[in-house]
Structure formats: structure tokens, C-alpha cells
Structure 1
Amino acid sequence: MLTNFSTRADIPEGYHLGPNMRRRRGPAFITKTACTECRKGRAKCDGQQPCARCTSKGGLKCEYNLSVHVRKEEMRQEINELRTHYQMSEKIFELLTSGDQANLIVSKLQQKEPLGEILEQLGGHSPAGASLTAASSSRRRESLRSDDTGVAQSKTEYLSPGPDESEMYCFENGSRWTKLPLGDTVIEHLLLLYFCWEYPIFSGISKRHFVRDFNSGHDRYCSPLLVNAMLAVGCRFSDQVEARMDPNDGDTAGMHCYLEAERLLSICRGERSVTVIQAMSLLSTWNSSRGDYKRARFYAGQAIRLAVEVGLHLDGDVDEVPDDVREVRNTTFWGVFMLDQAWSLATGCLPHISQEGIWTKEPTVFDKDELREWIPYAGDEIPHGLDLRQPSNVRAVYKSLCGLSTIIHSTLYVMYADTDSLTAREFLDQYTRMLNWYSTLPEVLRLGENSTPSVLFVHMYYYFSIILTFCPLANLRFLDSKISALEVCTDAANAAVTLVRSYESLHGLRRTPCFLPYIVFASGIVHLGSLDPKINPVETMTQSAQEVAILQLMSLYHGSSKRACRILLNRALRTNSTDANLDKDAEEDTSSLWKPLVMGLIWPLADTPRHGSISDDPTVIRRLSIAATYQEKLKNNGFERAM
């Protein structure tokens, strides 16, 4: 028989607890926040100032780093208050500019009367919820801010929502856009990851239009196809099991969303809309991360072809198109245009649109998210730290990538349209355009001014474009300027790897843009080709070791990085070995994804192309034929063979 006693005092004298009956503990004192020293020692803290443990130790500095968790309902209330305050401010400015009651308004403002009361006294109609003024919002923010360090901030302050984009970071009722068993919270988590780490790189999405229709349920700029494709990319950045088709296999991240998007795309065959074009570009991005070169290139080509069929490249001459529609169409076209140039550059072929085929101007308005603060999002909580907060500058990033892609577009035509007529002057003119583009980058995109993932990617992609532009000429020099193409490639590879290391130190390599493994791989191939392994094999292995290490860290999340790491390592071992079996294994490891890029980087660094399965790809054969013509014909057009 079990006997219950409410307290220790109720236990009768002489009563003994049995061997299997443990004394229950009373409710222990729980402190919500422990001091930094107790956290380090994983010890219990009483929450006092100073705490008992720090006092007993003597000499320990007892400090508290407060963290604040803001619920979504509170954040939305804060957003509504800011929106109301903005509407009242606009009304006040409108009355001031009219001049009728300007003096009265100024006097009331000087007396610090609430905006809502001023509007009521003037006979104006204050917006709904005007009683929730910005003063209450400001007081709540002040209460959330740490008094000493200012580290603790609310989620609303980090995002700094604008009045017209108050729901820019809120994705509501996401489950209505997909048939997959994903909850609204998981969908919002995946979309936040995409917009934090991948957007706006090669993106054809106007974020504010997408979010507006996503939350309202309208299908003009949002569709189940587009949402599922975006979720597939977002899954590459998530550690949650819901992001994987097989919870125990990280390689299946986003596979279920991708298959659902492909199913919806098959239903939408023949449909010509911006959401279909945007979804195709996202499917290309997902395949590039996974390492499927053929599908990535296929979807990128389909997206730009459909954009031309729809006429997105002609918006510059369509005056009757509303500004709102024009913005979405321009953004969509330039997003798929940039993606097409990236793959054309990597595969060494002409773009899918001609030199005279672009009639629309670069977007002047891409996203009104320019000054919104960016911080790395990884899960439900936002990490604290003032050093992580910086303007997103997505508009400047997008416009800069558009400008560089335009130069790449013309450079590809100079290189591959007619190799017989290529002269050193034409090539140097394109190189000069790249240098001028880089020297005139906006101040907000300069290194040291901003370090968001997209800003760092702009610099890395610039060096990547130089590598792939000069590699076909790696054995040549320019007669007039004595520029060595191999030296230019080597300098660009060094700069690219340095930037990747900076990215790693700031953000880690868990979440990187899907195209980043290609940049690291190209840099590694250049480093291997710039050295003679027979003369200094140790230096050759050391140069490639850093790229192999970076790719190894990214290989857990990008299938392309896993393949690139294996190929680069085999290539490094092969340069220091005469083993025929090792050479054969390296050739077999070079999958279809890397054939064009590998051969585009390797063939100018060798006297003759290597035999084996690597040369069976049509793209490789085409580039090898170009290589043969370059070595002889270009020497008569302002080039000479490098010694």
C-alpha cells in the first residue's frame, strides 16, 4: 500500500521510506536567464546580481546577456502599429503641403500632441487603429532593448519592416499552396531560408509581389508550381527532417518538393506566365546544387526561351503596360537572363538569346527592400549580435549582376560566335569592360562596406567570369600588353578563394548559394594547372588542398560540391602520379555535370586532350575543337604562345 505525504513534516516518526520509494523533490527554483559564467561552467545560477556562484568563486564578473523572444502575434501587432503611424504621418504631410492649416499643425506638433488627435481636431479621418500610436510601439521596443549592451533586440527591429511591405517576412497559410504534408510553420521556415541565403542571386522573382499574393491567396504572381520550386531550394538550407524526402538521407533534401513541382509543371505545359518561368529558373537552381548539370542547363534554357516567347525582352517598347506589371516582367526576364549567361559561361557555348535580342532596359526598381536589415536566418530564432546586422542592398546586388551578365553575354559572342575573326583587341575590350564594371561598383557593395552572402557572391562571380573567360587562352599572351592569360586566371582564382574563406568566417559553409561550388571548383582547377607538379609537387598539392577542404565542408549540403571535391582530389593525385589506373578512375569520376566545365578549364593547360569517356560529351568535343583553332589562328590576331 502506497502512502502519500504532502510534506516532509507529515511523515510520522519512525516511518522509513522503502528501498523502491524515492523521495520526491519539491518544485525547484528555476531562473529564466543564467549569467555568462554559469553558462560557461554549465552550472546552476540563481539569477541574482551578482549570483551566488560568482560571489563564492571570487573575481568572476557576473553579467547577463538577455535574449528576447517575440511571438508572431506580437510582431504583427508591432507591424500594424507602424503601418498606422505611417498612414497618419502621410495624412499630416498632405495637410501641411496644402497650406490651409499649416501653422496650426506645426504648433500642435511642437506641443507633441499625438497624430491621431491632431487629425481628429482638423476634421480628418484617422486610420483604423490610430489609437495604437508609434509611441506605444517605441515604448515596447525600448523595454525589449538591453540597458547595458544593446544586444537584445526584438525580431521586428531586425527586420525593420516598411509600411508598404509590413508582411514582407510573414508567410501565412502556406499549406494551401502545396499538397505535400508540410505545416504552415515549416513552409514559412523554408521560404525564409530561401530569401535569406539564395535570393536575389539569379532570381527572377519580385519579392513584394510574390509575398503579397502568397498571403492573400491570389495566383497572379504566386502559384503552387512556384511555391513548391521555391520550397525545394529552401530545403537545401534546412536541417529539419521535414525538408528531406527520406528523413535519414540528407541527399534527398528538397526532393519531394522538386518532384511535386515537376508534376505541376507537366500539368502547366503550354501555359505562358511569369510564374512558370520563375519556377523553371528555381528548378535549375535546385539541380545545380544537387549536381545534375543536364537538368540544370535544360531548365535554364527553357526559362529564357519561354521568356522570349512571352515577350518579356520587349517590355521597353510597350508603353501601355502598367508600372506594376512592367516591374514583374522586367525582373523575371533579367533573372532568367543572368542564369542563362552563367550556364553558357560554364559550359562554353553561346547564350540562348542573340546580341540584338534584348530590348528591355535593366530594372530600375527591383525590390523596395534595399535598406531592410539583413541577418542570417537559420531556424525559428534570429541570432543576436550587432555585428551581424547590415543593409540587405538587394536592389544594388541585382542591378550589378545584371550589368555583369550583360558584359558576359557580349563576351561569349566574341569568344564563340566566330573564332576565326577573334582578335586580341576585341578580347581586351571585353576584359576592360569587366574591369570598369568592377571599379564602378556602388559604394554599398564594396568589400568592407557590406558582407551579406549576396554581396560576397557578386565579387566571387566576377572572378569566376574572369577565370572562364581567360582559360581558353591560358597558353597565350597578348602581344600589345604582354598580359598572360594564365596569370590573370591565377590571380582571379586566388581572389575567389580568399572571398570564400571570408564567407566561411562570417557565415560558415552550411548555407551557401547553390552556384558557389562551381566557383571553388574552377579556382582549384586553375591552381592545379598553373603549377608544374613535376618541379614542385608539394606546392601543387598545397594549392589544391584549400579548395578540396572547402568543397568537403560544402559536400554535405550540395551534391555538386561532393562531385567536385572527388574530381579535384583525383586530379591533384593524378598530376603527381604516373599510375594509369588512377588516371582511369579519375576520368570515370568526372560525371556529366563536370565534363564541360572540367574540359573548358583543363584543355588549354595541356598540349593534347586526354583520351577516355570525358571527351564523349558533345559540348566537350565542341570546346576541344575550339581549342585546336585557338592555338594556331589566334597567333595571327594579336596573340603569342606563352613560354
Structure 2
Amino acid sequence: MTSASPPPGTRDSEGQIQSRLRQLAPAPKRRDAASPPESSSSSVAGQVSIACEACRKRKAKCDGGLPSCYFCQKRRLACVYREAPKVQLKKMLTELQRSSAALDIVRAMQSRNDGDAMEIFRRIREGVDPDTILRQLRAGDLLLQLHVVPETRLRYEFPHLTQLPDHLQSFDNPYLKSQLFEWTWTDSAPGTVATSSQSSSDDRNSSQVQYLIPYRAATLIEPTIDQLHLSQWTTVSKDDSLLRDILRAYFLFEYPYFSIFHKDVFLDDMLSGQGPSCSPLLVNAVLASGCHCLESIPDRSESWNPRNLTSRFTKEAKRLWEQDVSEETLLTKLQASVLIHALHISSGLDKIGSEYLLQAVTIAFHLELFESPDCVPDLKLQHARDFTAWCFFWWQSVVCYAYRQFPLFRNPPKSLLPDPFEKPAWYGEILVRYPLSPLLVPLQNPQTQKARLQLGILINRACLKLFPDDSEGNTPPYNRRAVVLDLITGFESWHSALPEALGPQNIVFPSQFRVHLHYFNILSELYLVLSAEAEADHTPPQGRRPKPIGLTYAEACYETLLRLYFLRHSFAIPDIMLAQFLTIFAMTAVHHLDAIRNANAADDSHSNDTSSAMPPARDLNSLRSAIALAGKGLSDQGRSYYLAQTMSYILISRLQPEDASLVRTSAGVKQEDDLSRQMRALYIQSQYPIETTHIMSFRGRKCMDKLVKEYAEVTIDEGDSAEAPDPNPGDGDSPIKSE
């Protein structure tokens, strides 16, 4: 059966329907590169925003084809388009940022110290991206600001009594009129920070930054040190960065008052690698001394520890000292001998170290160091010789006075001390920079150096007059009163002639404090001799007789200086002389405290016979505060020097239980066990007369090593065996807020 075909009419109707539908055309083909451009009837969306340079010149419409328009392809021209405005602006911004970063880096190299500038230069040479360098610089500045800003307006606080004792304010005290006291005490109470008016005042007085910030926050600015390769001069360490830090610490803390060589001459010869003012022996001795001054070195006071850097540099210096027999290096051998002698003293080994001092004297005579040469072939070498001669003369006079001995030299060097204002380079200046301050602050080293060297002449003269010459059997003069009065006149004349920078109103740096402390230490002891002579010549009248005005004044100024030193700088600064000053201060306070307690314990019939050595207008609290302050200072110095640490333990052992407990609490000193005491007694070999507070009563007094042996034999009382809390473990002093 076949299907029926559709009727004809039906097919015609379908064709009519299909003819009425819209025809769907295929998509237009992609224009070939050779095809002509579309007509201007194209949509707005296809318009081109930027024409190529060729079409711009012929002022024709460009189709914007990439990589080349139709017109350029047809004529085989280079089709170049201008960048869009947004792209141009973005590139300009990027270039400005790069140039700004480069400019900021250049400015940083201009304004920062030589060490930072060299580090920036090194990173540039290594190919570090400028943005990375700038980011590190800015981040470092922010960290520095966060670290030091709380330190700028805070002061340290006295232990036991936070206020100044009344007896220091009851007379015309010149040191309470000083700028340091006004900036430290008046403008900043404990625990407070600067107000907006104080901050603006600080901005106006930016040149006085040294009165606002502790010295230990300052940084030594010495470009030559950054160029030194110290590892070439020692076998102890090859870490040049560490060695440079040690050298900076030495010149920052110890050198300003205890110098035996000229800094600039020494550094110049070290940089050149040759010269008579630098040798491996001297460099190792300097680094051994500097280890005591660098707080980042743990256990730096343990000079007996063979793993300690201090011990290793000292042993290396002593080894080189034994091998050094050259005539050409005798000057540096003398300088190193003095430094090694000082290292032994600070370690409680002066019996051993005295040999180095005597050898230095022998070398000085061999070199004719104290003589004036007929001709000077080398001005630089003669400068180094003269400076060393004066420094050595000062050192031996200080040591002989401290140990109550006849001096090693009768006369000072024949070369004259130049005027520090006319020839400051003869002494050399030391520059420091404080945090957040762009200024370089000079320590006024020329004035300080001349003042201390002149003071050494007077100290040597006192040793000649007061102490016997055991080698010749001489005894001090019979008319001691006249001799002491003459010595006092000389010291007071020296003090009144100090330059303005060293006046009581202007001192601020630790080296300047040491000059004044040394003066009042000796002056008070001389006045004490006068007081004893007066008591021996006259029968004491009934009733309490006050001390001589000069003695009261000298002791009060001495205590004021120590308290101001602590207020601004704390006693955590490495200071080889401070332990002696604090020991004398502590023993004097203990003497006065015992006198008051004995007077209070005596019957009324005997209370009026109290010795004239008892200070008027002083109470138990102020004296206990003084002992606590001295104990804290010795403990803080004990972190750098073993002798000071030992002195603190001896002081505590000789106090009454309540006073010893106060010192332990204030200083954070813990009890030593029996083994530690015995080891300390075996190690210490010192003849330092720690107990003497009277320069004429040193004969028969117990020296350091004997007192340490007694300390080792003392049994720890049960009630005194508890360890005192350590308020600042392992970190020296801290102000009311952490640094």
C-alpha cells in the first residue's frame, strides 16, 4: 500500500509561510588584514580612542588595529601608539616613588652615623631593592623610638628613702643649683612623663639632651672604628662586629677618665696597620678592659672564668707581654702594662698586678718618658709620649693614694699641659649622640683631661707628704696640721679654678662627676685628719662638738654628687673608679650609723661625750638610705667588676641584720653558699684597705683579702638565710619604667 501524496495545495501553502519568515544570515566573517576598513556606519562601540602616530600625522581616521592598523600594514610603516593617559599617570607615579626612595636613602646616608651609612652602601652594592632598604630604615627608626621614648623623661629612684636627705638641703649646696638637678629632680617627679609644655621646652633645648637622658643610652660617634678590622690584631675572636662593639664600649665608659694613651693617635696607627702607638699587645689589653664595659657580654665580671671573653683577652695580652722584648714597642708595652695592672685591681688581684705597675715604671725610666727631649724628630710620636707620661703619672698617684703608699714618682713630667681651649687636639675630643637627637654632643674631654691630670699632681704631693717612704725609712712630718692645711689650700685652689664646663652648675657626664667625686673624697679625708689633730691637741669640752665646717661641707657635697650621679645615670654604668667612691661612702655611713647607735645606747651621763666625728642633723633613716644606695651601687658595679661584687658582699657581712636585709632587698643581692664564699676567698689577692676611712690610720687595718677570708668563715644565720628578691634580675639598674 502506497502512501498518498500530499495535495498540491498544501505544498504551496508551506512555501508561502516560509517566505514570510525572517531569513537568518550567518555571522560576518573576520575582516582580513588586507580588506578595507568598514564604513563609517559602524557602531559607536567600535570607535577607537587613540590613533597611531602615522594616522595622526596624516589626520586620518585610524582603525586602532593591533599590533598594526590597516593603513600602516598596507604601507609597511611602523605603527606606534601613544600610551593611554591612565597608563602614563601610573608610570609617572611609579617613577616618582622610585626617585623618592632613592632620595630618602641618600638623605639617610648623609644624616646617619658612619656605621649606618656604610651598611646602607653595602646593601646597595649587594643589589638590594631600594624600597626594601627604605622600609628597613623606617621600621628600624620606629623600633628605636619605641625603645627610648619612655627613657627621656624619667629618672632613677633612691632606695629606702625616695627624697633627698634634709642635711643635703640645709646649706648652700652648689650641686643642688646645677642644671642636672633642675632637669632631673624638679622637672620630672618619679613615674611621670613630660607634659606638652615640657615637650615643647625640650624641643627648644635640644642642645641640652645630655641633661635629660642617661649616659648609657648614648652612642659613641667615632668613624675610624667602623673602618677597623680588629680581628687582624687578636687571635681571641674573628668577629669584627663584636670587637668593634667592645672597642666602642671602652672609649664610651672607661677611657674618658682612665686613659693611658691618646685615642686618635692609637686609632690612626691601628687603621694604617703600623706605627709606634699600636700593637697587638695593646689592642688585646684594651679589648680586655672593654669587655668589662659591654653589657651584652654575660658574666663579664668573672675574669677567672677561662671561657669568658674578659679572661681570654687578658690571658692573650699577658702572653704577648711576656714575648714583647722589642725596643720599638716599649711605649705600647708600658701602656698595656698599666691596663693589665688596672684589670688585676678590678678583679681583686692587685698583689699579682702590682708587678706590671713596677715594670711600667722601669720602662718609663728607660724611655726617659718624663724628660723633655733636646730635639723632636717625630711630632706625632712625641705627642703620644707626652700624653702617656701625664696619664701614667696620674694613675700611679691615684693608686698610691688609694693604697696609702709613697708615690712611685716624686715629680710630674717636664712637658707642660697645654691649654685645652687653645690646643684641644692634644687631649682629643669624644663625641656621642643621644637617641632621637640629630646633634653630636662633645664630652668636653680636653677640659676634663687637664683637670684630672692637674688633680694628679696634687694627689701625688699628698702622698709625698702623708705616707712614709718604706725604702728610705722616712716618716711623715711631725707638724702634720700645717702640712694638711697647705694641702687643703692647694686642692681648694684647684677646684675654684675649674673651667665653666666643669663647674658645679654644669657637670653632667660621668667623667665630670668622677673629677668632683675624687676631689671631695680626698678633701673630706684631709679635713678628717685636721679634726683628729684638733682632738689630740685639746681636751674635748663637755657637750657634743660639731664637726669642722669644711668636713661637713665636703661630706655633704660628696654624697650629693653620688646621689645626682645615680638619679641621672644610675650606678649600672661600668665605672672602674666608682667602686672605690661607693666603698668609701658606705664605710663612712656605717661609721656614722654606729656612732649614733652607740650614743643612743649609752647612759645620759656619757651621751654628751660623743665624738666630734658624729654628723649633726643626720638621722638613722638618711644613713640607712645612704648604706642601701652604696650597697646597690656596689652590686650593680659587681656585674662588671669582680672586686666591686666582692665589696658588696663584705659590706653586707659587716652590717647589723636589719641593715643587711635592707641592702639585700634594695640591691637584689642573694646570699652566697659556703662553697661560693670559700672560692671567693681563695681567688681574692688584694691589699686594698677597704676598712680605712682615715688616711693616717691605715697601719694595722685589715686589707681586702683578710676580710674576704673572714667573710668566708662566717656561718649564715638561720634568720638571715632567706634570699632577697631580685627586683631587676640580670639587668642592672632600671628607672621607674623599663628602658
Same structural fold, with TM-score higher than 0.5 when normalized by the shorter chain: yes
Q: Is the 8 A contact 1:286 1:514 kept in 2?
A: no
Query: In structure 2, what is the equivalent of residue 374 of structure 1?
Result: 432
Distance 1:270 1:171, change over 3 A: same
Structure 2 SS opposite 1:313: coil
Matches within 5 A, 1:507-586: 507-531=569-593, 532=595, 533-536=597-600, 538=620, 541-573=624-656
Query: In structure 2, what is the equivalent of residue 304 of structure 1?
Result: 361
Q: Deviations over 1:388-440 (max 9, x none)?
A: 96321111111111111101111111112432434312210111110111111
Distance 1:172 1:75, change over 3 A: same
Distance 1:251 1:399, change over 3 A: farther
Please, which of 361, 368, 383 is the counterpart of residue 416 of structure 2?
361
Task: Tell me how far 1:542 sits from its aligned partner.
Answer: 4.2
Is 1:275 matched up with 2:332?
yes
What letter corresponds to residue 415 of structure 2 in structure 1? T
Query: In structure 2, what is the equivalent of residue 598 of structure 1?
Result: 690
Query: In structure 2, what is the equivalent of residue 178 of structure 1?
Result: 234
Supply the distance in 1 between the matched residues of 2:534 and 2:556 (Cα, whole angstroms).
20
Query: In structure 1, what is the equivalent of residue 480 of structure 2?
Result: 423
Task: Tell me how far 1:345 sits from its aligned partner.
Answer: 0.5
Task: Tell me how far 1:385 sits from its aligned partner.
Answer: 4.1
Matches within 5 A, 1:60-99: 72=115, 74=117
Supply the distance in 1 between the matched residues of 2:700 and 2:447 (Cα, whole angstroms).
44
What letter corresponds to residue 343 of structure 1 in structure 2? V
Supply the distance in 2 between the matched residues of 1:527 and 1:396 (Cα, whole angstroms).
32
Is 1:404 matched up with 2:461?
no
Tell me which of the two structures has the higher relative contact order, counting C-alpha pairs closer than 8 angstroms and 6 or more residues apart: 2
Task: Tell me how far 1:449 sits from its aligned partner.
Answer: 2.2
Q: Deviations over 1:518-547 (max 9, x none)?
A: 111012112222341323594554442221
Task: Tell me how far 1:569 sits from its aligned partner.
Answer: 2.2
Of 443-452 and 191-200, the range deviating more from structure 2: 443-452
What letter corresponds to residue 409 of structure 2 in structure 1? I
Q: Is the 8 A contact 2:351 2:685 kept in 1?
A: yes
Structure 1 SS opposite 2:566: helix
Q: Is the 8 A contact 2:281 2:320 kept in 1?
A: yes
Please, which of 255, 258, 270 is the counterpart of residue 214 of structure 1?
270
Distance 1:332 1:70, change over 3 A: closer
Of 187-196 and 294-303, the range deviating more from structure 2: 294-303
Supply the distance in 2 between the matched residues of 1:374 and 1:570 (Cα, whole angstroms).
40
Task: Tell me how far 1:192 sits from its aligned partner.
Answer: 0.7
Distance 1:299 1:184, change over 3 A: same
Supply the distance in 2 between the matched residues of 1:247 and 1:426 (Cα, whole angstroms).
41
What letter corresponds to residue 373 of structure 1 in structure 2? L
Distance 1:484 1:597, change over 3 A: farther
Task: Tell me how far 1:605 sits from its aligned partner.
Answer: 7.8
Matches within 5 A, 1:191-202: 191-202=247-258
Query: In structure 1, what is the equivalent of residue 18 of structure 2?
Result: none
What letter corresponds to residue 331 of structure 1 in structure 2? F
Supply the distance in 1 between the matched residues of 2:375 and 2:304 (Cα, whole angstroms).
54
Structure 2 SS opposite 1:273: helix
Give the TM-score, by structure 1 length: 0.61
Alignment size in residue pairs: 459
Supply the distance in 1 between the matched residues of 2:702 and 2:260 (Cα, whole angstroms).
39
Query: In structure 1, what is the equivalent of residue 374 of structure 2?
Result: 318
Distance 1:160 1:277, change over 3 A: closer
Of 543-552 and 183-192, the range deviating more from structure 2: 543-552
What letter corresponds to residue 363 of structure 2 in structure 1? L
Q: Is the 8 A contact 1:174 1:184 kept in 2?
A: yes
What letter corresponds to residue 330 of structure 1 in structure 2? D
Structure 2 SS opposite 1:374: strand
Matches within 5 A, 1:35-434: 72=115, 74=117, 167-241=223-297, 252=308, 254-269=310-325, 271=327, 273-315=330-372, 317-355=373-411, 358-362=413-417, 365=423, 367=425, 373-375=431-433, 383-385=435-437, 390-417=441-468, 418-434=475-491
- Identical positions, percent: 20
Distance 1:363 1:385, change over 3 A: same
Q: Deviations over 1:487-523 (max 9, x none)?
A: 7556444433332332233333332321210111012
Distance 1:542 1:616, change over 3 A: closer
Task: Tell me how far 1:358 sits from its aligned partner.
Answer: 3.9
Task: Tell me how far 1:275 sits from its aligned partner.
Answer: 0.7
Structure 2 SS opposite 1:556: coil
Q: Is the 8 A contact 2:303 2:347 kept in 1?
A: no
Unaligned segments of structure 2, at least 5 residues = 1-110, 122-140, 146-199, 210-217, 469-474, 602-619, 661-676, 710-739
Query: In structure 1, what is the equivalent of residue 515 of structure 2?
Result: 458
Q: Deviations over 1:114-140 (max 9, x none)?
A: xxxxxxxxxxxxxxxxxxxxxxxxxxx
What letter corresponds to residue 374 of structure 1 in structure 2? V
Task: Tell me how far 1:246 sits from its aligned partner.
Answer: 8.5
Q: Is the 8 A contact 2:587 2:691 kept in 1?
A: no
Please, which of 470, 491, 495 is the counterpart of residue 557 of structure 2?
495
Distance 1:289 1:345, change over 3 A: same
Supply the distance in 1 between the matched residues of 2:264 and 2:391 (Cα, whole angstroms).
16
Of 341-350 and 322-331, the range deviating more from structure 2: 322-331
What letter corresponds to residue 408 of structure 2 in structure 1? H
Q: Deviations over 1:287-331 (max 9, x none)?
A: 23323232444433432332122111002x533354322211111
Of 218-227 and 607-616, the range deviating more from structure 2: 607-616
Supply the distance in 2 between the matched residues of 1:263 and 1:610 (Cα, whole angstroms).
33
Q: Deviations over 1:63-112 (max 9, x none)?
A: xxxxx86663726999xxxxxxxxxxxxxxxxxxxxxxxxxxxxxxxxxx
From the CA coordinates, give the structure whose radius of gyration is larger: 2
Supply the distance in 2 between the matched residues of 1:305 and 1:265 (Cα, whole angstroms).
14
Q: Is the 8 A contact 2:458 2:491 kept in 1?
A: yes
Supply the distance in 2 between the matched residues of 1:612 and 1:462 (Cα, whole angstroms).
24
Of 567-576 and 256-265, the range deviating more from structure 2: 567-576
What letter corresponds to residue 432 of structure 2 in structure 1? W
Task: Tell me how far 1:231 sits from its aligned partner.
Answer: 0.4
Of 203-212 and 566-575, the range deviating more from structure 2: 566-575
Q: Is the 8 A contact 2:114 2:226 kept in 1?
A: no
Task: Tell me how far 1:354 sits from its aligned partner.
Answer: 2.0
Q: Is the 8 A contact 1:202 1:338 kept in 2?
A: no
Supply the distance in 2 between the matched residues of 1:393 and 1:473 (Cα, whole angstroms).
35
Distance 1:247 1:208, change over 3 A: closer
What letter corresponds to residue 397 of structure 1 in structure 2? T
Unaligned segments of structure 1, at least 5 residues = 1-67, 79-143, 376-381, 578-584, 618-643
Of 258-267 and 203-212, the range deviating more from structure 2: 203-212
Supply the distance in 1 between the matched residues of 2:245 and 2:708 (Cα, whole angstroms).
43
Q: Is the 8 A contact 1:190 1:234 kept in 2?
A: yes
